[in-house]
Chains A and B, each alone.
Chain A
Amino acid sequence: MDVHGNSQTSAMQARRRAAMAVLARASGKEIAARLGAVALPAYESLREPESGLVMVRGRIGGDGAAFNLGEATVSRAAVRLASGEVGFGYALGRDGEKAKLIALCDALLQSDEHADGAEANVIAPLRERLIARRNARAAEAAATRVDFYTMVRGEG
């Protein structure tokens, strides 16, 4: 593959990863509601939703060698659009339908015809909600930040 093709691939990968990060944090219901507003192409299930485990790893001291912290439940699914694009869905938890919806979004993002619609109608609004939730949490935390002050004694 030429250099141009490589950078295109990595741009697509970055786009898919960013979308997955948003979708994994949304609820299945939220994703379904957003997808309801999009005209969906025909697709088939490539891997039926299934739940399992991943071993979550941490690092010794936060930045050293890896160790096994404990497991987490995860669900996954894969779909294929009639036009051939294969989408994968992974998310923490046991909501297999959510994994399937994520897979569908992932496939849409790879389709020239559907990518922009999915981005604008599904990913963008979910991202906005996610950012709002995150900002609210950050603002709550910020209010508990300690402001030390020093009593000035004598003449400054």
Chain B
Amino acid sequence: MYVAIKGGERAIENAHRLLAHERRGDCDVPELSLAQISEQLGLAVDRVMSEGSLYDRELAALAIKQARGDLIEAIFLVRAFRATLPRFGVTEPVDTGQMQVRRRISSTFKDVPGGQILGPTFDYTHRLLDPQLAEGHAPEPPATSEAVVCAMPRVTDILGKDGLIEPSPQASADSAVGDLTREPLSFPADRDLRLQNLARADEGFLLAMGYSTQRGYGRNHPFAGEIRFGEVEVEFLAEEVGFAVPLGEIALTECQMVNQFGGSATEAPCFTRGYGLAFGQSERKAMSMALVDRALRARELGEEVGAPAQDEEFVMSHSDNVQATGFVEHLKLPHYVDFQSELGLLRKLRREFAEAQRKASMREAAE
């Protein structure tokens, strides 16, 4: 029998109305503005921009508000919005060496040229809840001191001068930069595609994968060679203008992981590297990304491949939280017809089972 299912429209409409009401919460409490979200929940905004794969603070703040603080829902909203805009082109690659650094630390060299700059960090806080914040608290203005203008080379550049670390792979003239928003993934995937996938990957997933390498599932002996956060300029070669046009600046976090040795009969041993880059101040994300990037290079570096973090198909197919949540959450949608057929099958199997039992017991009784 075919049963048409209708009658959900009103329920859906009212559910959304109720959602809007719950989103607003108690109307005696002042409503959040996008500026408040952007300024005071800045790291949530950074995460939504990173995983939404769209740099726009205001849109990310709107998405967080609309999603009631559910960041994966917010990321979903941002991805959906992105699909409505035309793409003008690709930027020149950003130069993180020219970053206006707000934070820069190295766990490998104490006296790194340019210095260790802690910047705004949770590190070294005691992780005690602060009752002052509950009451509304105007913080002291930040301390200042004279900025010394000096070059801030990447730690990997310093190691690279002596050949102690492998150089970054350079582009071959004939290879286009892969873009997984344009072509579906196929395996094996090159490192450019892997990094694009990791850059928009779920932070929790990357964190767990990176952690698994530290615990022995694809161990690669990492040091945080350098982590830097700050602003870089973005330039776009606009054909009609005829030169690379500065578009403004974006905040990025970069992590250079320095890992144990590669080398071969023909190449001297040297440190290997893993790379992380993320929108905003997203340090955990950039570090996890660098660990996983390095783990995914196992085959290229001739290491034994066996751990989940070394399996690019596993990592890249499960890293995207919008895809993942879509497939997990679709289980909520009506599957009535599917379920009816399963139910029919199960009833038939149970009838056969009962019949077989009955026959068996009759045989036993007869013997």
Contact = CB atoms under 8 A, between A and B. Distances in A.
A115 interface: no
Contact of B55 (A24, A71, A139, A142): A71
Contacts of B275: 60-62
A65 B50 CA distance: 21
B228 to A, nearest CB: 9
Contacts of A145: 115-118, 145
A6 interface: no
Given A138-B100, A142-B144, A17 B246 contact: yes
B119 interface: yes
Interface residues of B, number: 85
B144 A136 contact: yes
A134 B100 contact: yes
B7 interface: no
B234 interface: yes
- Sorting the interface of chain A by its residue count into under 10, 10 to 19, 20 to 34 or 35 or more gives 35 or more
Interface in A68-84: 68-74, 76, 78
A52 B88 contact: yes
A68 B82 contact: no
A53 B86 contact: yes
A16 B234 CA distance: 16
Contacts of B97: 62-63
B45 interface: no
A76 B156 CA distance: 37
Contact of A70 (B55, B89, B233): B55
Contacts of B177: 57, 65-68
A55 B90 contact: yes
Interface string A88-101: 10111110000000
A24 to B, nearest CB: 4
Nearest to B176: A66
A135 interface: yes
A149 B168 CA distance: 34
A88 B156 contact: no
Interface string A124-139: 0000000000111111
A139 B200 contact: no
A24 B233 CA distance: 10
Given A21-B233, A67-B177, A143-B142, 12 more contacts: A25-B249, A52-B85, A52-B87, A58-B199, A60-B168, A62-B256, A66-B171, A66-B192, A70-B200, A90-B241, A139-B144, A141-B102
Interface of B: 49-50, 53-56, 58-59, 82, 85-97, 100-103, 110-111, 115-120, 142-148, 154, 156-157, 167-171, 175, 177-181, 191-193, 195-196, 199-200, 230, 233-234, 236, 238, 240-250, 252, 254, 256, 273, 275, 277, 279
The 9 A-B residue pairs with the shortest CB-CB distance, nearest first, are A64-B168, A61-B168, A65-B171, A72-B55, A138-B147, A139-B144, A67-B192, A24-B248, A21-B246
